[in-house]
Amino acid sequence: MIEEIIDSFEYIIILKEKNIKTWEDIFPSFYRIAKNNIKEIKEHGLLDDIKKLLTYAKALEKFDETNRNKIFDNLKQYIVSLKEKFLVDEIIVPPEKKLSLFTDIKYVKNVGPKRAALLNKMGIECLNDFFYFPPRDYEDRRKVTKIFNAKDGEKVVIIGKIVNYEEVKINKDLTILNYSVEDDTGIIRITFFNQIYIKNYLSKGTIAAFYGKIEYTYGVKQMKSPDFQVLNTQDDFQKEILPVYPLTAGLTQNIIRNISREVVNQTFFLEEFLPNDFIEEFNLLTLKKRLKGLHFPLSFYHKNRALYSLKYEEAILFELAIIYVKLKLKENKKTEGKQIKGELSNKFIDMLNFELTDAQKRCYEEIKNDLTSYYPMNRLLQGDVGSGKTVVSELAVIDVCEAGYQSAIMVPTSVLAKQQFNRISKDFEPLGLKTELLIGETKENDKIAIKERLKNGEIDVIIGTHAIIQEDVEFKKLGFVVIDEQQRFGVNQRLQLIKKGNQPDILVMTATPIPRTLAMTFYGDMDVSVLDEMPKGRKPIKTFLVPDSKMNSVYRFVKQELDQNNQIFFIYPLVEESETLDLKNATEMYEKLAHVFNDYKVGLLHGKLPSSEKNEIMDKFMKKEYNILVATSVVEVGIDVPDATVMVIEHPDRFGLSQLHQLRGRVGRGKKQSYCFLIIDKKINRETRQKLSAFSKTNDGFKVAEIDLQWRGPGKFFGVEQHGIPEFKFLDLIEDFSIISQSRKKVEQFLVNPDDLKNLERLKSELKIRYGNSIELIHVL
Ligand code: ADP
Ligand code: MG
């Protein structure tokens, strides 16, 4: 293919740039490529261009270094311009009727209500959905292969004349059509099964193009049920690259291709929405060209450019949307920056029985800067389990209280709220700060009293679940909200907080470390601080894969630990026996383990218990009234039990790696060596075992997240209830990291003020179409 030939020239250039080839190598290499492909070059009318290319290449041998580099640049430019020759012209079709992006797909020619229903099933409702419906592959039908040259197993286009034909009725269920097709080099047999209607198209004397896989058996070349196109003459064949779409029952590839042709013809009314700055900076194809290139590319180069451009389109729009939100959140400045004295926090630091890590000091500084500034803080604090996020947030809370404001700390569950309350109120008491707990179970009378005191400003710090900001809770002077959770706290919720009148600073802490790409995308509207250092003296948890046949040795190990006054978790994927899943469950195993370890106290914790009972059980475990806790993944987040040293997880393949990491993080909180056993049964496949084995070899949550993300993709990685995750059609969050970060940089230059979008109506409407719902842009745009 011609663009592959041009690619080969470009490849030589790359080799030179990497110093694999020398200046003197270029001309001979170019010459060889040109010579070997002279026929194709002539066919495309490129002879003069290639000659010019060779002249450049020859010149490189003669000149000195400075001139060489100039020529080299020209040469590269020239190759790029050659490539551009193979891109489409703008599609110009006169408008027949008024179309819009939202024209129902059923009105497109060849569609109608029945096919529209099938397309709807694939997520295509309107014209715009089809514009961005990516083929899963492409078929190259530009090259016609002579029958003589067609190789066994190859997918090729053959053009020939039907010289013979027979219909064979094998039995009442099977009728075969056999055609003999001839070109000037040989003959091939073409067979169709139970497709009698094909007789209407193909008969003796018909000239046709056939596309299919060659099978070569007993000296006979064959094609079974190929795609075909009847031709008037041999030259009639339309050479093109065809899209291969995902299908659904009732739609064939040919039907959907015909629809697609029609749809692509309807792109004439589209206007580019990406600002020119971006098109130029990243050398993108314009809208119509990128869509044409997606569906019916003129060359593979065109296709690649189109896909590359669509990736940028996606990244740019997404970054525009989140940066817009970020700017919008900052638009309402705080009335005052907080006056941080730091006396109380210094006192607190003196009271700690450890030294802050450098990472903790750095993150604390970043937060303090936000607190004192006039822009409301909107910050994410990321850090692995046990990296000491709570201390950092406590320091900030203390500063805020000292400056005369109240703080709210929100956690996802009431179990955690209680634990955090116990810890924080103890820490804050000596500082003279008043802390209260407000959760669902708080008695009604107490609730009323607490709300009253919040309103009067008698409480400095309130700890609880989300309810504390959603209910009719009023503060005297709320200055700071800490959200300790792994779920995404939506833009909308943050806007609600802002609308409450005051402009509290917001710090979100994630328990799940996420890879940089994702942090940038999903928390892109926030500033990010990372605790990338563990407190000193922590012993890494030792993780082992253990076959379930060796369970007894795990029990023996657990027994030893228990005898040393340590505590144990056993985790199961199910609460109770399931009819459909052959898995161990917490309830039955609780009975069994209570029997195995009958010298010790065993507790059972799962999500089906009422939350007051959950709290009680967790409390008892923390107070060592239980030595063993048998549980489901409800113990996942934030629980801190210093003497817990062993985590046994059965059916670990039932959990995501990030979740396993969270679970594992429940042990190793103190100074003792801790262990995690993943119990593997025989049914676990090799891939999963490899994944778990990779997991067992690292204690780094960021690494775990990367493995997890690669394995499961971003949707599952975040879990189903996650909101705020747009689906990308073209971007791969891992592979396309550089596209995302380049786009982000450029968007940050482009969009400095929300008003910068003011006159870009087309862009704004495109942003609404894409991200109106998923990132709640609708509320601000
Ligand atoms: P995270 O919330 O990030 O999982 P925590 O803030 O709960 O972690 O801290 C885990 C444990 O480590 C707590 O017991 C805490 O007191 C302790 N800790 C925090 N920072 C340090 C430090 N710099 N040195 C030693 N221990 C620390
Ligand atoms: Mg924590």
Range 214-225 average pLDDT: 90
| Shared-domain flag, residues 455 and 522 | yes
User: Is 400 within a domain?
Assistant: yes
pLDDT reported for residue 252: 80
**What is the C-alpha to C-alpha distance for residues 365 and 371, in angstroms, rounded to an integer?**
10
**Alpha carbon of 357 to ligand 1 centroid (Å):** 10
Q: Are residues 457 and 559 in the same domain?
A: no
Indicate if ligand 1 lies below 6 Å from the C-beta of 391.
yes
Cα-to-centroid distance, 390 and ligand 1 (Å): 7
Summarised one tens digit per residue, pLDDT across range 679-719 is: 999 888 888 899 999 999 998 888 888 888 777 665 555 54
**Given 680, 698, 716, which residue is the final one in a domain?**
698
pLDDT band at 248; cut points 50, 70, 90: confident
Q: Which residues contact 296 (CB under 8 A, 6 or more apart)?
A: 240, 241, 242, 243, 260, 261, 264
Instruction: Say whether both 394 and 516 belong to one domain.
Output: yes
- Mean pLDDT in residue range 202-224: 91
Q: Are residues 34 and 107 in the same domain?
A: no
Model confidence at 94: pLDDT above 50:
no
Q: Is 640's C-beta closer than 6 angstroms to any atom of ligand 1?
A: yes
Mean pLDDT of all residues in 27-35 = 91
Q: Is 390 in the pocket of ligand 1 (CB under 6 A)?
A: yes
Asked whether residue 158 is assigned to any structural domain, the reply reads yes
Residues 102 and 163 occupy one common structural domain: no
Pair 674, 553 in one domain: yes
Q: Specify the pLDDT at position 100.
A: 81
Domain of residue 451, CATH code? 3.40.50.300
Distance 642 CA to ligand 2 centre (A): 13
pLDDT in tens, 5-22: 887 888 788 888 878 788
Answer yes or no: is pLDDT of 87 > 80: no
Domain coverage including residue 45: 2-84
* Domain membership flag for residue 744: no
Q: Do the bridges between strand 215-217 and strand 628-631 make them parallel or antiparallel, or are there none, so unpaired? A: unpaired
Same-domain status, 95 and 62: no
| Token pair of 521 as six digits | 């995308």
Q: 162 and 73 in one domain?
A: no
Nearest CA to ligand 1 atom 24: 535
Asked whether residue 253 falls in the same domain as residue 233, the answer is: no
User: What sign does the dihedral 270-274-276-280 (CA atoms) show?
Assistant: negative
* 388 ligand 1 Cβ < 6 A: yes
Position with higher pLDDT, 461 vs 326: 461
Q: Taking 50 as the threshold, does the pLDDT of residue 503 lie above it?
A: yes
CATH of residue 125: 1.10.150
Answer yes or no: are the C-beta atoms of 467 and 333 closer than 8 Å.
no
Residue 56 lies in a domain: yes
Q: For residue 412, what pLDDT band results from cuts at 50, 70 and 90?
A: confident
How far, in Å, is the centroid of ligand 1 from the Cα of 361? Answer: 13
Query: What pLDDT, in 10s, does the model give residues 589-603?
Result: 999 999 999 999 999
In a domain, 720, yes or no: no
pLDDT tens sequence across 236-247: 788 889 999 998
Please tell me the residue having the least CA distance from ligand 1 atom 14: 669
Which ligand has its closest atom nearest to the C-alpha of 535? 1
* Alpha carbons 660 and 655: distance in angstroms, whole number: 6
Number of domains in the chain: 5
Q: How far is the CA of 696 from the centre of ligand 2 (A)?
A: 22
Predicted pLDDT at 556: 95
CA distance 224 to 21: 47
C-alpha separations of 84 from 78, 285, 302, 512, 571 in Å = 10, 10, 9, 45, 59
CA of 353, nearest ligand number: 1
Q: Which ligand is nearest to the CA of 383?
A: 1
Average pLDDT over residues 76-88: 74
Q: Is the pLDDT of residue 500 over 70?
A: no
From the CA of 363, which ligand is nearest? 1
- 723 belongs to a structural domain: no
Ranges 126-135, 216-225, 431-440, 461-470: which has the least confidence: 461-470
Does any ligand 1 atom lie closer than 6 A to the CB of residue 360?
yes
Ligand 1 atom closest to the Cα of residue 531 is: 3
The first and second tokens of residue 268, run together, are 């004439």
Asked which of 649, 678, 698 is the last residue of a domain, the reply is 698
Ligand 1, atom 6: closest residue by C-alpha: 388
Report the CATH number that the domain containing residue 199 is assigned in CATH. 2.40.50.140
Are 409 and 499 in the same domain? yes
Q: What is the CA radius of gyration of the chain?
A: 33
Q: CA-CA distances (angstroms) from residue 442 to 231, 423, 435, 617?
A: 81, 18, 15, 18
Q: Is 387 in the pocket of ligand 1 (CB under 6 A)?
A: yes
547 and 673 in a common domain: yes
Q: Which of 84, 104, 130 is the last residue of a domain?
A: 84
Question: Is the domain of 475 the same as that of 572?
Answer: no
With bands split at pLDDT 50, 70 and 90, how would you rate the model's confidence at 736? confident
Of 169 and 734, the structure prediction assigns the larger pLDDT to 169
Is 724 inside a domain boundary? Answer: no
**Low-confidence winner among 6-10, 348-352, 544-548, 617-621 (lowest mean pLDDT):** 6-10
Q: Is the CB of 354 under 6 A from ligand 1?
A: yes
pLDDT surpassing 50 at residue 90: no
Going from the Cα of 674 to the center of ligand 1, the distance in angstroms, rounded, reads 16
Query: For 275-287, what is the mean pLDDT?
Result: 93
- 315, part of any domain: no
Nearest Cα neighbor of 240 from 260, 218, 220 is 260
- Please state the atom number of ligand 1 nearest to the C-alpha of residue 390: 6
Quote the CA–CA distance of 162 and 177 in Å, as a whole number.
Answer: 12
Q: Is the CB of 535 under 6 A from ligand 1?
A: yes
Closest of 731, 713, 771 to residue 312, by C-alpha:
731
Q: Which residue out of 409, 640, 702 has the highest number of ligand 1 atoms within 8 Å of its CB and is therefore the one to mutate?
A: 640
